[in-house]
Amino acid sequence: MKYHGEPENRRLKRAIIHQIRQRGRITFREFMNLCLYHPLYGYYCSSGEKIGKRGDYYTSPCVHPIFGQFIAKQIYQMWALMGKKSDFRIVEFGSGKGLLCHDILCYLRRETPAFFGSLSYQMVETSPFFRREGKNLLWENGFGEKVQWVIPKELESENFRVQGCILSNELIDSFPVHLVTLKDGYLREIYVTHRDGQFREELGELSSSKLEDYFGNLGVVLAEGQRAEVNLTALAWMEMVSRILTQGFVITIDYGHDAESLYSPFRMNGTLLCYYGHTWHDNPYERIGLQDITSHVDFTSLTIKGREMGLQRVGLTTQYRFLIGLGFLEEAQKIVGEDQSSLEGIRNRLAMKTLILPDGGMGDVFKVLIQHRGLETPQLDGFRGMETL
């Protein structure tokens, strides 16, 4: 099979091999970071479709716009709980091609013009390709002046503060992770080296004491021989988000589990997955720079880190429960209406059903975590009548 973008694949391989030769070996986190975010050749920094039918994977916003509409409904309720502030801001991290922003703003412009008129929307996206795609989409639909694009360096400013909602959808799963394993009763780190023309793994001492602390804080002990991912970048991201949010909410949507489930001996090989052309496998050492690499999110650690930084958890639940709590089933029925047999009606129904499929489907695998600061035990419709995880 001939892979698209093969020349960039070779250049990225050479760049990674150069790093390894200079230092002897690199952590898996460094390897994954180069594969995904090398400024010239990384997967997310290169052009080419990645999301949707012609890409490598689907996200909820590209399945059906109703997803963004219901995120908008939840954000509208947040605005009301905060007293309908005139300086409410939505900051979306990892905004991709702008689909979620587009669907949120379309709903708010149509259904809640007063809120739409007062809010500001800011996007944080590191991929040059996604930024171009997003800007084109939003300008074409009349949102160009409503949306501001923020570069990561601006987030370090003491003046960058948010009163409103910080939002991410399938962001944290793409952060580079450390790989560890328990060997002879000791936690060891998995490094990447290059020998005989192949990338190979070797065990070594932990590159950071934070890796051992991570499991200690969770009270988790891996089984002998068990592999696991540690996403220290996610904790740093949560610290930054907590710092910039003065009042409001953080919505984190991603696939993952609580720590007890994520690090169970049931997952002896961890959760690392690679996506290419809507197929998946667990070998990150092929199709370098041409495939996405992800790992499941540890929602327990996000909750603990948020609490340490002053964020309180509103709830954690599955995507299908969250959407149903917001009235998804009733709205889906309205959209389909009597159009049950036409091709468009069938497509609509199947797409919306995909968003709430349980038992390993998008509705079950994806979780919704909401945290807040500066509010007195807010009750959100997304968790209405349901026990949170």
Q: Looking at the domain assignment, is residue 17 inside a domain?
A: no
Q: What is the reported pTM?
A: 0.93
Helix or strand holding residue 122 (H, E): strand 120-124
The share of the chain scoring above pLDDT 90, in percent, equals: 75
Note the pLDDT of residue 55: 67
Q: What is the pLDDT of residues 221-250, one digit of tens each?
A: 999 999 999 999 999 999 999 999 999 999
Q: Looking at the domain assignment, is residue 4 inside a domain?
A: no
Residue 359's pLDDT band (boundaries 50, 70, 90)? confident
Question: By C-alpha distance, which of 122, 374, 372 is closest to 249?
Answer: 372
Rounded CA-CA distance 321/367 in Å is: 9
| Residues spanned by the domain of 35 | 31-175+231-382
| DSSP string of 193-249, one letter each residue | EEETTEEEEEEES-S-HHHHHHHHHHT--PPTT-EEEE-HHHHHHHHHHHHHEEEEE
Q: What is the pLDDT of residues 268-278, one digit of tens each?
A: 999 999 998 88
Q: What is the pLDDT of residues 109-119, one digit of tens each?
A: 999 999 999 99
Q: What is the pLDDT of residues 156-204, one digit of tens each?
A: 998 999 999 999 999 999 999 999 999 999 999 999 999 999 999 999 9
Number of domains in the chain: 1
Q: What is the pLDDT of residues 292-328, one digit of tens each?
A: 999 999 999 999 999 999 999 999 999 999 999 999 9
Q: Looking at the domain assignment, is residue 190 inside a domain?
A: no
Q: pLDDT at residue 345 above 80? A: no
Q: Which SS3 state, helix, strand or coil, does residue 124 take?
A: strand
Domain CATH for 60: 3.40.50.12710
List Cα–Cα distances, 15 to 51, 97, 289, 355, in angstroms. Answer: 26, 27, 11, 39
Enter the tokens of residue 143.
């949102």
Do residues 91 and 164 touch, judged by C-beta distance below 8 A?
A: yes
Note the pLDDT of residue 2: 39
Q: Looking at the domain assignment, is residue 185 inside a domain?
A: no
Q: pLDDT at residue 7 above 50? A: no
Q: Looking at the domain assignment, is residue 204 inside a domain?
A: no
Buried b (16+ CB within 10 A) or exposed e, 36-50: bbbeebbbbbbeeeb
Q: Looking at the domain assignment, is residue 203 inside a domain?
A: no
Q: Looking at the domain assignment, is residue 250 inside a domain?
A: yes
Q: Looking at the domain assignment, is residue 223 inside a domain?
A: no
Note the pLDDT of residue 388: 67
